[in-house]
């Protein structure tokens, strides 16, 4: 679970076996917001591919909690214009929540192999700002991400002149240079 504020974990279960907090790449997590505008975007990259079962949102008081959530998966670089015009993977009408006990179930089959997630909150319950104090995910990690490897040569048939023979390498195993 991603904790975006200083809170007491007694209100919700941060230590759950299903918590994906340890798989969030927090160094890349960022919020986008305009001053005086309730629309908010949250981009969260994971350190491994995950399957997401549910999402929890704890908002602010006095009408500043988000009232709607739209979700995009595995789409980097979404801006406000994109978020407004693109089809979301799933949308929820939210309940004004400041306690942290509500979970919004995902269409689990659509939330497999999630490398990153963008949460779009287009409006709040009445204010001209949206406050989010906590975002939590439940699910499981599937595998570690692998960085791309550059300059790899795949040989369908090896070229013997590219490789040393046992005699050339002193009788040991041949190796590729």
46 neighbors 136 (Cβ within 8 angstroms):
no
Six-digit token string for 129: 């700002």
Question: How would you label 136-150 residue by residue, b for 16+ Cβ within 10 Å and e otherwise?
Answer: bbbbeeeeeeeeeee
Average pLDDT over all residues of the chain: 75
What band does 29 get if pLDDT is binned at 50, 70 and 90? Answer: low
Which residues fall within 8 angstroms of residue 100, CB to CB, at 6 or more apart?
Answer: 7, 11, 12, 56, 58, 134, 136
Q: Which residue has the higher pLDDT, 56 or 161?
A: 56
Residue 23 has pLDDT above 80, yes or no: no
In sequence order, the β-bridge partners of residue 105 are: 54
Over residues 109-117, the mean pLDDT reads 95
The whole-number pLDDT of residue 126 equals 83
User: pLDDT tens, 123-136?
Assistant: 989 878 888 888 88
User: pLDDT tens, 49-68?
Assistant: 999 999 988 888 888 889 99
The whole-number pLDDT of residue 101 equals 74
Q: Which residue has the higher pLDDT, 112 or 164?
A: 112
Q: What pTM, to 2 d.p., does this model score?
A: 0.67
Domains of the chain: 2-149 (2.60.120.470)
**φ/ψ of residue 68, rounded to 5:** -145, 145
The whole-number pLDDT of residue 130 equals 86
């Amino acid at each position: 679970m991603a904790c975006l504020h200083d809170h007491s974990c007694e209100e919700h279960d941060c230590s759950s076996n299903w918590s994906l907090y340890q798989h969030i790449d927090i160094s890349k997590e960022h919020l986008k917001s305009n001053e005086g505008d309730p629309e908010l975007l949250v981009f969260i990259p994971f350190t491994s591919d995950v399957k997401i079962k549910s999402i929890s949102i704890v908002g602010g008081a006095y009408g500043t909690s988000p009232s709607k959530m739209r979700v995009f998966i595995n789409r980097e670089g979404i801006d406000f214009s994109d978020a407004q015009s693109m089809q979301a993977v799933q949308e929820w009408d939210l309940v004004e929540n400041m306690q942290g006990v509500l979970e919004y179930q995902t269409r689990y089959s659509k939330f497999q192999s999630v490398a990153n997630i963008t949460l779009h909150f287009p409006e709040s319950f009445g204010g001209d700002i949206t406050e989010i104090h906590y975002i939590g995910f439940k699910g499981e990690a599937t595998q570690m991400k692998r960085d791309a490897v550059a300059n790899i040569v795949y040989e369908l048939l090896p070229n013997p002149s590219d490789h040393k023979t046992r005699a050339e390498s002193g009788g040991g195993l041949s190796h590729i240079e």
